[in-house]
Amino acid sequence: MPLLFIFFGLRFQFYSNDHEPIHIHVVAGEGSTACKAKFNVVPEISLVENNGLKANELKIAEMVIEENREIIIQQWHMFFGK
């Protein structure tokens, strides 16, 4: 499970069996109490699902994804070989 970065306690990662469209998972916390969200990165950044992240955490996550969009896309292609 490739971890791209951590900002403000939010982990931004892919899952090893992920699929297109290019997206990223954002996780706060650990284990069974972890809160998670999924954002599509292409064709545009959009929240796909949210399982417990607070509104302010979602805003931070979206800002981080916007600022690092090209890095996320590049890392996706490197990891998944596409």
For 3, 17, 35, 67, the CA distances from 74, given in Å and listed in that order, are 14, 17, 26, 13
Q: Which of 70, 66, 79, 78 minimizes the C-alpha distance to 26?
A: 66
Q: What is the mean pLDDT of the chain?
A: 95
pLDDT at 59 over 90: yes
pTM, rounded to two decimals: 0.93
- For residue 26, which of 12, 47, 16 has the smallest C-alpha distance? 12
Helix (H) or strand (E) holding 20, with range, is none
Spatial distance between the Cα atoms of 20 and 76, rounded to a whole number of angstroms: 10
Mean pLDDT, rounded, for 22-36 = 94
Looking at the predicted structure, is the pLDDT value of residue 32 above 90?
no
Q: Domain range spanning residue 9?
A: 3-80
Q: State residue 31's pLDDT score.
A: 86
pLDDT above 80 for 1: no
Tally of domains within the chain: 1
